[in-house]
Amino acid sequence: MIGNSILSSYGNPVAELYRGLINELAQYGHRTTFLERENKDKYQYRDMLRSPYCEVWTYQDTDQLLSEYRRAIQSADVVILGNGVEESDRIAAWIAEEARGITVYYDSNLARTIKNLEGALAVGDCLSCRTVSNFNLFLSTTGGPALSRLKKVHDVSFPRPLYESVDPYTFYRTDTERQYDLGFIGNHKAERAAQMEDMLFSPARFTPNRQFSLAGGGYDKQENWPRNLTYLEYLPETNLVDFYNRQRCMLVISRADRKELGFTPSRRLLTAAACGVPVLTEDWEGLEEFFEPHREVFCVNDKQGVLDVLYGTEESHRNRVGAEARRRILGQHTISHRAQQLLEYLDEVAD
């Protein structure tokens, strides 16, 4: 597999996606070699010195990758290229020429890929119209109509969804005291500032005797924030379970491009649900494929919707919703389910 760093999750959310999937494949007896570009500036941000479930080989630039790892590509049963790798187009062409096994592209940001393809843009870490159809299997964390359009418009073979997933041994319910009525995790994004104001800050101001929480970077203007909002600029991955379990409810706001495509459950949505925390999120196309609205998640669109769930809904009902969501996660959205899906897709392509 060639992808962004598996040793560092700093500014690299796909690290957790890759780690979980490769670890689960190792349980089935499959051996993985991960190739990542060496970045000395980010050595201090590594949260792994070495991977416990795969070999990690590094390269300094694309020239070295193509010259030194040719035999590795030729001998692999499966070659996977992840999105966001520098000079992806060149690497994709090389894989198509050298690989003798099944070739796979795994896209965790389909909205960006589609924008690049439709605009015929020359983006270095994206595929182009020339190479997007090179692979035997095109996997994406987005499903639904967007994948069907790829097949029709760009002649992509075997487009299949391989959604985000959760390790149930990492995310779970605890008996920690619930300190906050509502929490949110996410870095500042201008596109969702209005929703943050409407669905987090405004409810906090409206109920000054209640406690709210926010974790994420990039929030500069804090002087007008409500005093009953606790802010954590940085939340390590190892502290996520504790943070989730201190919330009576979690707010999850999807990125605009993901909402536009639909059928894209975010990692935050799945991990919060895996902890059994009642989740408040907007309704987006395809949500019902993953959770049943109002039975497994609460759909809210504004301040009043948030307040109705927090203070107009019995706590016992909120807890049942959280428990049902966790049950859904364990039944359909674990890493084990995704690894099995990947192996089934590979069998499908091989046939």
CB 114 within 8 A of CB 146: yes
Side-chain-side CA neighbours of 62 within 13 Å: the count stands at 13
Residue 141 has pLDDT above 80, yes or no: yes
Exposed/middle/buried for residue 29 (C-beta within 10 Å: 0-12, 13-18, 19+) = exposed
The average pLDDT across 262-269 equals 96
What are the pLDDT digits (tens) for 278-319? 999 999 999 999 999 999 999 999 999 999 999 999 999 999
Longest dimension (CA), the chain: 64
Tell me the pLDDT of the chain averaged across its residues.
Answer: 94
Residue among 289, 286, 284, 293 nearest 324 (CA): 293
Read off the DSSP letter of residue 43.
Answer: G
| pLDDT at 11 (0 to 100) | 75
Q: What is the pLDDT of residue 123?
A: 73
Please say if the pLDDT value at position 246 is more than 70.
yes
- Tell me how far apart the alpha carbons of residues 339 and 324 are, in angstroms, rounded to a whole number: 23
Instruction: Please give the Cα distance from 272 to 321 (Å, whole number).
Output: 12
Q: Look at residue 122 in the predicted model and tell me its pLDDT.
A: 65
In order of 45, 292, 302, 309, 326, the CA distances from 321 in angstroms are 37, 10, 20, 11, 9
pLDDT per residue as tens digits for the range 146-187 = 999 999 999 998 999 999 999 999 999 999 999 999 999 999
pLDDT tens column, 232-242: 998 888 899 99
Residue 319 buriedness (CB in 10 A; 0-12 / 13-18 / 19+): middle
Place of tokens 């009043």: 304
pLDDT bin (cut points 50, 70, 90) of residue 198 is: very high
Domains of the chain: 14-165+335-350 (3.40.50.2000), 182-332 (3.40.50.2000)
Q: Where are the alpha helices (DSSP H) in 189-246?
A: 193-196, 202-206, 240-245
Question: Is the separation of the CB atoms in 251 and 280 below 8 Å?
Answer: yes
What integer pLDDT is reported at residue 53 of this predicted model? Answer: 87
Judge whether residue 121 has pLDDT over 70: no
* CA gap 132, 137 in Å, rounded: 10
Give the model's pLDDT for residue 175: 94
Average pLDDT (177-202) is: 95
Mean pLDDT along residues 103-113: 96
Neighbour tally for 316: CB within 10 Å: 7
Residue owning tokens 């190892």: 238
Q: Helices marked H in 77-167 — which ranges? A: 88-98, 110-119, 145-154
**Helices 315-332 and 267-274, axial angle in degrees (round to 10):** 110
Q: What is the pLDDT of residue 42?
A: 62
